[in-house]
Chains A and B, each alone.
Chain A
Amino acid sequence: MTQHVSPRLAAYVALAAAGLLAGLVLGRVELVALAAPFALAAVVAPALARAPNLRVALELDRERALESEVVDATLSLTAAEYGRLDVFLDLPPGLSTAGRNPRALALAAGEERTLELPLRCNRWGAFVLGPPLLRAHDRLGFYSWETRLGGRAALRVYPSVETLHALLAPLETQVFVGNQVSRTKGDGIEFADIRAWGPGDRPRRINWRATARRGELWVNEQHPERNTDVVLFLDTFTDAQSGGRGTLDLTVRAATSLAHRYLQRKDRVGLVSFGGYLSWLEPESGTRQLYRIVDSLLQMDIVLSFAARDVAVLPPRSLPPKALVLALTPMLDPRTGPALLDLRARGFDLVVVEVSPVPFVDSGGGELEQLSYRLWRLSREALRARYQQAGVPIVEWADGVPLNVPLEEVSAFRRYAKPARA
């Protein structure tokens, strides 16, 4: 506990000494009387000052919350000595409170007080709150003691999930049962075609109408329902920000919505964070994987690095064959483009959603700035054309546009463009 003494106290001592000395030299008792209150304050204040023995506990009503939800923080305070206590809980940028923070309260000796602080979760993130900053004062404000007490409390704020009406269907499915109708034929529900009966075909698969018309046995064929592997490939090299929002923020929100929806569909979802700090999660299914992915997304940050990166550094199991690789990138770092085209060249079903940094970039006022801005936009167009030449669907997604829009654009692209085999 750090003790601070107000400079007023030293000044009062000086005033008292000067008054007493002047009274002695000039032989005036009034000057001694003038010095008396300051001398009294200088004597009484240290005599009554006691460092408070504080006990503080910080608790949150829950550890996980969604964006825009309110979490209650509770501070329990006890002091051995009476005094004024200033309490301040330092809040990270993603949290705010409508409650009184900081707050000053009068705490009697031995009294236990509980302070409630409603915290509004404005933005997703993994936050650590506390320990609260406490400053105790003596009664006249001559002495104060400052400390941080009460421990820490972790809070994970998950991004809100956007409702997605349709998801991108991968070109190929996996062997396990799922909700995605496979392009291949086999046991399933969805009707695919009819063919002539062959040995081993079950009688219940006979299409009696076709059999009656053709005079020989014909059987139905179905598309089996299979699951898919989806890898969310996030470009975390750079972030374009403006007004508290940025491309990383949009990327994390989109990845959360996609992971949530694909896992709901019983698909396996993996995650690759491709940036200054490389991390990955192998594709898995289930609610546990959703929490793993979202927890991993919460800790995602931009780490500046000049190291060369390519997909060869990723473990093979993080990118399983026939997986749909859904890349979310602002296309700002030159290392991302070659890596994605390399994935395409390896035969992955790649879709690029360009998280547009354009709304976050100021085009500038000068002629030169305008020219460089236009050149930058043109270079982005050229990069987009390179992806399209390689048969990679690429769509631009800007802030404020629902995620359904780029997904529908990709579906339309796939409907009219045949996948190019590298």
Chain B
Amino acid sequence: MTLAALSACSYAGVFAYTLARSGRALPATGALGSVGGLLLVVVLVRANAELVPWPLAFLGVAYGVELVVRGSSVDGAAPLIAVGLLLCGELAAWSVDERLRISAERAVRRARAVALGALAFGSLALAALVVALAAAPAGSGLAWTVLGAAGTVAVVGLAVRLARRG
């Protein structure tokens, strides 16, 4: 119940932020977010884990619409929005998992909470890095080019390694 409430709170927070910034796009973002909210309620009430990504997708689209309508200024709160969406999905999935009648030790819950916290923290850092990198002036030297190339190689290398493992 607590997990479901936290998930709903997380969704409500992101939705409220999107609505507050919507302006002209309010009908579109409001409709998309409401549909997502209804889906989240279905997920939490009926314990349907397969529907978890859909509320996130709807709210993400609503946020995207708001960004496009608003214009070219970069939203500095985007990393928080991203982590909010992730937490909403993860908490909803965890809430569904807890519906199974399995008596779990406190250490099990603690371990998942720690892992989720670490993922959220890492996500925040990554999203913030993305936003910060985007703010850097483009074409300002060899260092950025090398960093970009190294990053690309690292991502491709990681993908290949994971593909081999799979």
Residues on A with beta carbons closer than 8 Å to the beta carbon of B103: 100, 102-104
Residues on B with beta carbons closer than 8 Å to the beta carbon of A29: 74, 78, 130-131, 134
Contact with B along A64-93 (1 / 0, CB 8 A): 000000000000000000101010000000
From A18, A26, A41, contact of B68 by CB (8 A): A26
Q: Does A33 contact B (CB under 8 A)?
A: yes
Q: Does A140 contact B (CB under 8 A)?
A: yes
Q: Does B116 contact A (CB under 8 A)?
A: yes
Q: Does B35 contact A (CB under 8 A)?
A: no
Least Cβ–Cβ distance between B79 and chain A, in angstroms: 5
The complex places the Cα of A40 from the Cα of B111 at a distance, in Å, of: 19
What total of chain A residues lie within 8 Å of the partner, measured CB to CB? Answer: 40
Q: A104-B103, A140-B112 are in contact. Are A15 and B119 (CB under 8 A)?
A: no
Q: Does A38 contact B (CB under 8 A)?
A: yes
Closest to A19 in B: B60
Whether A104 contacts B112 by the Cβ 8 Å rule is: no
A42-50, A219-227, A240-248 - interface stretch: A42-50
Residues on B with beta carbons closer than 8 Å to the beta carbon of A18: 57, 60
The complex places the Cα of A38 from the Cα of B89 at a distance, in Å, of: 10
Whether A30 contacts B75 by the Cβ 8 Å rule is: yes
Give the interface SS of chain B, mostly helix, strand, loop or mixed.
helix
Closest to B75 in A: A30
From B67, B93, B123, contact of A37 by CB (8 A): B123
Whether A84 contacts B53 by the Cβ 8 Å rule is: no
The complex places the Cα of A41 from the Cα of B124 at a distance, in Å, of: 12
Least Cβ–Cβ distance between B130 and chain A, in angstroms: 5
Residues on A with beta carbons closer than 8 Å to the beta carbon of B126: 36-37, 40
Residues on A with beta carbons closer than 8 Å to the beta carbon of B104: 84, 103-105
Whether A14 contacts B53 by the Cβ 8 Å rule is: yes
Whether B49 contacts A140 by the Cβ 8 Å rule is: no
Whether A22 contacts B127 by the Cβ 8 Å rule is: no
Closest to A44 in B: B119
From B107, B110, B120, B130, contact of A33 by CB (8 A): B130
Residues on A with beta carbons closer than 8 Å to the beta carbon of B68: 26, 28
Residues on A with beta carbons closer than 8 Å to the beta carbon of B89: 8, 12
Whether A11 contacts B130 by the Cβ 8 Å rule is: no
Least Cβ–Cβ distance between A24 and chain B, in angstroms: 12
Least Cβ–Cβ distance between A331 and chain B, in angstroms: 44
From A11, A22, A84, A86, contact of B52 by CB (8 A): A11
Q: A15-B57, A28-B68, A29-B134 are in contact. Are A140 and B127 (CB under 8 A)?
A: no
Q: Does B27 contact A (CB under 8 A)?
A: no
Whether A43 contacts B162 by the Cβ 8 Å rule is: yes
Contact with A along B101-117 (1 / 0, CB 8 A): 11111011011100110
The complex places the Cα of A29 from the Cα of B82 at a distance, in Å, of: 12
Whether A33 contacts B79 by the Cβ 8 Å rule is: yes
From B49, B86, B112, B130, contact of A41 by CB (8 A): B86
Whether A139 contacts B115 by the Cβ 8 Å rule is: yes
Whether B105 contacts A104 by the Cβ 8 Å rule is: yes
From A14, A26, A36, A141, contact of B64 by CB (8 A): A26
Whether A46 contacts B108 by the Cβ 8 Å rule is: no
Whether B105 contacts A41 by the Cβ 8 Å rule is: no
14 contacts between A and B (CB under 8 A): A6-B93, A8-B93, A12-B53, A15-B57, A18-B60, A28-B68, A30-B131, A33-B130, A36-B130, A46-B162, A104-B102, A105-B108, A106-B111, A141-B93
Listed from nearest, the 10 A-B pairs whose CB atoms lie closest are A37-B123, A11-B53, A29-B134, A30-B78, A139-B115, A104-B104, A106-B107, A37-B86, A100-B103, A33-B127
